[in-house]
Structure 1
Amino acid sequence: MKREVVVLIGAGAIGVAIARCVSAGRALLLADLKLENSEAQARVLREVGLTRTPPVAMSPAVKTSHA
């Protein structure tokens, strides 16, 4: 079974507003540098039935390479 996933990195108000618009019927993964931020926004999104996944804290030590 395939399922679409929306990944929101950064639990700011604009991102959460967009996630509310595009996440219906999809899994939503919410991540932020501060776990408290993603937990707070996840609570709001759960109240309207949009997320069942646990919030995630990102590590600022993760580096990307543009090789």
Structure 2
Amino acid sequence: MNRPGTFEIRVICVPEQVDRVTAALADAFTTGPLRAYPTRDRTRVRLYLTAMAPAPAPALPPAVSDR
């Protein structure tokens, strides 16, 4: 079960792209441990990660004009 604010990501890719895909997901989200399983035809890999969207950037105060 996922904690509030988290969600599950599933990606199917060829084994040669696992590192690239997981790096891209880690750049975009806070991710948990990677779980990888072969597809039924054994030519691709199913990747499962629990993720949390990054927190929004804090709001900046309005700019003060010097005029």
TM-score normalised by structure 1 residue count: 0.35
**Structure with the higher fraction of residues in helix conformation:** 1
TM-score normalised by structure 2 residue count: 0.35
**Structure with the higher fraction of residues in strand conformation:** 2
